[in-house]
Amino acid sequence: MLEDKNPELTPISKYGEFGLIKHLTEKFSFENSSTEISIGDDAAVINPEGQKVVLTTDILAEGVHFNLGYVPLKHLGYKAVVVNLSDIAAMNATPTQILISLAISNRFPVEALEEIYAGIALACKHYKVDLVGGDTTSSTSGLVMSITAIGLENSENIVRRNTAKENDLLVVTGDLGGAYAGLQILEREHSVYLANPNMQPEMEGYDYILERQLKPEARTDIKKTLKDLDVLPTSMIDVSDGLSSEILHLSDQSKVGFRLYEEKIPIDSLTISTAEELNLNPVMCALSGGEDYELLFTISPNDFEKIKNHPDFTIIGHAVDIEQGNYLVARGSNELVALNAQGWDAFLNK
Ligand code: ADP
Ligand code: MG
C-alpha cells in the first residue's frame, strides 16, 4: 500500500516542516471558548474559566500498537484521538483540546499524512475538541504518534479510580470483547493476504466487530446520561486493557474486592459467534481482549433503581471487602474463578 511507488504521491520534502504543519492543520476550526491561543505560536494557551484541567497522553507506535498492513490511516488518526478522549471521559470530564506529535519516516508521502489528519479532523469535529498544537519530526523506523488530550471539569464532577466502597454496584457501558474479536478477523485475513495477495479478504458479515476495532468511540456521552439520571459514579475507569485488568485497577486503588457475574457480562451476538468460529471463549475476549473503550464504574447501591433498566448500562457485579478478593462467579455453577490481569488463564483451564 504505502510502498507502492506512485509518481503522483508528494514527498514530504516538498513542503518542509513548517509548510507541512500549515498544510495539515489549516482547515481545523475551533469549537471551545476555552481555546485562546492555538497552532502557530510557541505554545497554546487555554482558559479553564475556574474549572480543573484534566490531562492525559498516549503514544502509539507502528508495529507495537497498530499494523499499517490492515489499519487504514484515516482510522488510525481517528482512533489515536479516541483513545485519549476515552481517558478524559473516564475522569467524568469534558475533553476540550488535543495536541498531536508525530515522528514520520520518509517512506510516508504527504498524502498519507493527509489521511491521518482527515481522521483526526473527523474526531475533533465529532467530539468538539480543538487541535491546539503538537510537534513534527522524522523517524528512521516506523510511524510514532503521541497525542495529549486536555479536558476541563468542575471539581465536584471529577471521578477517580480510588473511591469505590464495599457494596457499591459494578456497572459497564455498551458491550465487551468486540474489538478483540475484530482484531482476530483482521489478523486472519491479513495473513491470508500475505500468503497469497490474490486472495480476497473475507470480511463480510463482521462489520460491527471490525468497527469496534478500527473505529472505536469514546463514551463522552455517558457523563450527560449519568447527570440526567442524577448519578455520580463512586469510581470509574475506561476499558482499554480488558475488563479483568480494569476491575483489578479499581480494586487496587479503592481497596475493595469485586464479584463479577459471568452471566451478566454484556457481549454482542456477533462477538460470540465470531469467537466460537475462531475457537475462542467469548468471555475471555471480554475479560482480556481490551480496546473496547467502554466505561467501567461503581455506583452507590442507593442508585440501583436509576440505572437498572437503562439500555446504556449493565450491572455486572459488586464490591466486597478487600479480604474477599476479586472473583468471577461462573455461569450456572456459581464456582469462583480468580480474576487476574490475564483473567482467561485460569478461566480456560477450569
Ligand atoms: P517549536 O519549534 O517551537 O517546537 P514548531 O515549529 O514545532 O514549534 O511548531 C509550530 C506550531 O505548530 C506550534 O504551534 C506547534 O504546536 C504546531 N505543530 C507542530 N507540529 C504539529 C502537528 N503535527 N500537529 C499540530 N500542530 C503542530
Ligand atoms: Mg516543535
Rounded distance between C-alpha atoms, residue 339 and residue 294, angstroms: 19
Reported as a single tens digit per residue, the pLDDT across 93-118 is 999 999 999 999 888 999 999 999 99
Q: What are phi and psi of 134, to 5 degrees?
A: 165, -160
Instruction: Return contacts of 303-311, CB within 8 angstroms, 24+ apart.
Output: 303/169, 303/229, 303/231, 304/169, 306/229, 306/230, 306/231, 307/169, 307/171, 307/229, 307/231, 310/225, 310/229
What pLDDT, on the 0 to 100 scale, is given for residue 347? 47
The three cell numbers locating residue 226: 449519568
Residue 258 DSSP class: E
Question: What is the reported pLDDT for 199?
Answer: 83
| In contact, 316 and 244? CB cutoff 8 Å | no
Pocket of ligand 1 (CB under 6 A): 21, 25, 39-42, 100, 102, 131, 133-136
The residue-averaged pLDDT of 199-224 equals 94
Between the CA of 29 and the centroid of ligand 1 the distance, in Å, is 16
Beta bridge partners of 104: 138
Ligand 1 centroid–CA 67 distance in Å is 26
**pLDDT tens digit sequence for 238-294:** 999 999 999 999 999 999 999 999 999 999 999 999 999 999 999 999 999 999 999
More confident residue, 15 or 231: 231
For 28, 111, 130, 287, 293, the CA distances from 124, given in Å and listed in that order, are 9, 20, 6, 30, 17
Q: Nearest ligand to the C-alpha of residue 42?
A: 1
Tell me if the pTM is above 0.75. Answer: yes
Element (H, E) at 133: strand 130-138
Distance between CA 323 and CA 301 in Å, rounded?
20
Atom of ligand 1 at shortest range from CA of 101 = 23
What is the C-alpha to C-alpha distance for residues 247 and 341, in angstroms, rounded to an integer? 9
CA dist 163 to 59, 306, 324, Å?
28, 20, 18
- In this structure, which residue's CA is closest to atom 24 in ligand 1? 134
pLDDT over 90 for what percent of the chain?
85
Pull the grid cell for residue 139. 523517524
Among 21, 46, 117, 138, which is best to mutate for testing ligand 1, by the most ligand atoms less than 8 A from CB? 21
The best mutation among 20, 29, 39 to test binding of ligand 1, ranked by most ligand atoms within 8 Å of the C-beta, falls on 39
Angle at 238 between CA 235 and CA 244, to 5 degrees: 90
Q: How far is the CA of 176 from the centre of ligand 1 (A)?
A: 37
- pLDDT tens per residue, range 147-205: 999 999 999 999 999 999 999 999 999 999 999 999 999 999 999 888 888 888 788 99
Q: How confident is the model at residue 5 (pLDDT cuts 50, 70, 90)?
A: low
pLDDT of residue 6: 67
- The stretch 9-22 carries a mean pLDDT of 89
- In this prediction, residue 350 carries a pLDDT of 39
What does the DSSP assignment read for 86-117? HHHHTTT-EEEEEEEEEEE-TTSBHHHHHHHH
Q: At what angle do helices 73-89 and 110-127 cross, to 10 degrees?
A: 30
Quote the radius of gyration of the chain (alpha carbons, Å).
22
Q: What separation in Å is there between the alpha carbon of 216 and the centre of ligand 2? A: 29
- Report the atom number in ligand 1 closest to the C-alpha of 102: 23
Give residue 345's pLDDT band: very low, low, confident or very high (50, 70, 90).
very low
SS3 237: strand
Residues in contact with 121: Cβ distance below 8 Å, sequence separation at least 6, in sequence order:
27, 28, 77, 131
- Ligand 2 centroid to Cα of residue 151, in Å, is 23
